[in-house]
Structure 1
């Protein structure tokens, strides 16, 4: 079952339950999928990897918005954004723990022979590809930076 079908099923459930947060979140996902499918040069249907990337983008947007609201002392605006994050994250693969990401980063550094910050791009590329959708890019970047600066 494709991402759009999963979203449509959840949308029906949210409508029946009259869950406003879920409805808003699911409509945002549906809208983003439909836009991606109709973009110039698009072949119509999204691959699973493209779907994961799209959902990750939506989660990141909401988290960034919530962070800005929190900085400005507007918890009333941050709360709905964070609630939407929870709903949208249902469509992402299970997220790895920091320890699991550290193991993958250590293995990639060892196999590539990376020795310093000059190799960060190479390591980031391999790790990001390997953990697509299973870890946040910011988390991966922080761990790689910590490991390579030792």
Structure 2
């Protein structure tokens, strides 16, 4: 079942359960999907699964950053709401790699590319971003690649 149909079914379940946070979050996701499908150049075509993952990742990142901002401003009530929405969005995202799994995959990519130092960061990031899309946060990938290239002799 496509993400849009899954969201529609879950919206109905949230309505029946009177779960306002879930309902609001799912409606927000559905709205973003509809906007992406009707955006200029999309011609009303359904989104690919890669586009759906990008959309969900972007929504999760927005919630995560908002929660951090609210935490810095000591607004725990708003922070809790953002974290609850983030948890709901993450239910629809593919499982994220653990730090150990990420290091293993990146080490394999570094060896495959033949990277020898920090000057090869761009080559590694291009392949890593493409292969690990949706499985790890871009910032985490970048930090880990930088650390591996700076501290390891290949």
TM-score surpassing 0.5?
yes
Cα deviation, 1:60-79, whole Å, max 9, x if unaligned, reads 00000110111111111111
Q: What residue number does 1:142 align with?
A: 143
Shift of 1:120: 1.3
Question: What 5-or-longer segments of structure 1 have no aligned partner?
Answer: none
Greater RCO, 1 or 2 (C-alpha within 8 Å, sep 6+): 1
1:12-47 CA distance string (max 9 Å, x none): 111111111101110110000000000011141100
Q: How far did residue 118 of structure 1 move?
A: 2.0
Structure 1: 4+ residue segments shifted above 4 A: none
Q: How many aligned positions are there?
A: 150
SS of the residue aligned with 1:146?
helix
C-alpha distance after superposition, 1:119-148 (max 9, x if no partner): 112211211211111111121111111101
Structural RMSD (CA): 0.9
Give the corresponding residue for 2:99: 98
Question: How far apart are the structure 1 equivalents of 2:42 and 2:141?
Answer: 29
What are structure 2's unaligned runs of at least 5 residues? none
Aligned to 2:27: 27
| 1:113 positional shift | 1.0
